[in-house]
Amino acid sequence: MVDINGGRVAVGAPSDNGVGAVHLFDSTTGNLLRTIANPDTTDGAGDRFGAVVALDPTGTLLLVGAVHDDDGGGADSGAAYLFDAITGSLLRSFDNPNPDANDFFGTSVAIDGDYLLVGAPGGGGDDSGAAYLYNLTSGTPTTPVQTLLIPVADLINGDGEFGQGESISATGIVVGAPIADPSGVNDAGAAYFYTLNTTNDTVSAPTRLTSDDLDTGDDFGVVVAIDGTTIAVTSTLDDGPGDTVMDTGAVFTFDSSDINNTRVRIDNADINPDPFDNFGSWVDVSGDRLLVGANAEDVNANDNAGQAFLFDISGASPSLLRQFENPDPDTDDRFGNSVALDGL
């Protein structure tokens, strides 16, 4: 995964030496600034440290997930770490607060100001998932101030993968649950928006976000992003407008200031969209710009070479600005697997 903020680019390398690492670059020069190693020096093999990364808006704090860490409570219970992105120093270690095997705590991470989020899509006690909110200025910064769970009404089979995707900004929190069952539609997926009261660390009741065409197995909510009042949610197995292209993918935007009346659908922008293009493999939003990865797009007969698409979302109808093709395409490159925006 990659992230960009405050003049720095963070690039995760979760298989580096079998334990994982994160590389920090200068976003202007491209120069490598430093490499941050997995702090688990005794049992770090297979931790996938760096599978997800998040820089705070100033680029001075780096949050890293280690989704397969085994130390907290069994195999793959997970962990997360906060670093000073300037010095590389480890500031905090976050253990799974309710550890169990296969919780995958650290699958998603997000940070904004004094608050950070860590997702555990296999957690929550009943394995339906959880997202943990932390306040770095509290007296116990490694203890969550809120534990967010999927609404029971959106569970049919007892799962939901709540916390698979998440994002936080000054205006609120978004958490994705790609196999939730909104309105009784099995595994259609959903996302949930919460406003955050920073005075007392409380959150509102969730507002549910869904596709305009609920369908089984759409994976709505697998990746989410928020910037200001703009929310983006991917649905990587959406079948396109009118269910015309099976599992090609789509992205939906919402305005949190009028969340129930502002859903906009953005379909696969490739000239010839195919099934399983994975449009929405990742998404990021910055101001009026939306960047979408499609890591299974075929390029020049190279299957799954990958592409990315940049949209202007300032108007009522999003417009495609740029289509980024893999510059050196080869089969299964998965270009667009992760994308990031800053300052556009």
Tokens representing residue 133 in the block: 């909110």
Element (H, E) at 65: strand 61-66
Collect all residues with Cβ–Cβ distance below 8 Å to 266 and sequence separation of at least 6.
250, 251, 252, 253, 290, 292, 311, 313, 318
Which residues, 6 or more positions from 327, have their beta carbon under 8 angstroms from its beta carbon? none
Domain chopping of the chain, boundaries: 1-106, 150-344
pLDDT at residue 88, rounded to an integer: 97
Our CA dihedral for 309, 229, 61, 30, rounded to 10 degrees, sits at 30
Cα–Cα distance, 269 to 294 (Å, whole number): 10
Is the backbone of residue 189 left (phi > 0), alpha (psi -120 to 50) or beta? left
pLDDT at 241: 82
Q: Among 159, 155, 194, which residue's Cα sits nearest to residue 174?
A: 194
- DSSP category for residue 28: T
CATH code, residues 1-106: 2.40.128.630
DSSP secondary structure string, 282-320? Answer: EEEEETTEEEEEETT--BTTBTT--EEEEEE-SSSS-EE
- Cα 215 from Cα 249, distance rounded (Å): 12
- Position 185 scores a pLDDT of 94
- Classify domain 150-344 at the CATH class level: mainly beta
Per-residue pLDDT of the chain (344 residues), as tens digits, is 999 999 999 999 999 999 999 999 999 999 999 999 999 988 778 999 999 999 999 999 999 999 999 876 788 999 999 999 999 999 999 999 999 999 999 999 999 999 999 999 999 878 899 999 999 999 999 999 999 999 999 998 778 999 999 999 998 999 999 999 999 999 999 999 999 999 999 999 999 999 998 999 999 999 999 999 999 999 999 998 888 899 999 999 999 999 988 999 999 998 789 999 999 999 999 999 999 999 999 998 899 999 999 999 998 899 999 999 999 999 999 999 999 999 76
- 200 to each of 150, 166, 197, how far by Cα in Å? 22, 21, 6
pLDDT at 72: 66
Query: Given this model, what pLDDT does residue 42 score?
Result: 81
Cα distance between residue 287 and residue 313, in whole Å? 9
* pTM reported for the whole predicted model: 0.96
CB 46 within 8 A of CB 68: yes
- Per the rule left: phi > 0, alpha: psi between -120 and 50, beta: everything else, 106 is left
Taking the C-alpha atoms of residue 208 and residue 154, their distance in angstroms, rounded to an integer, is 10
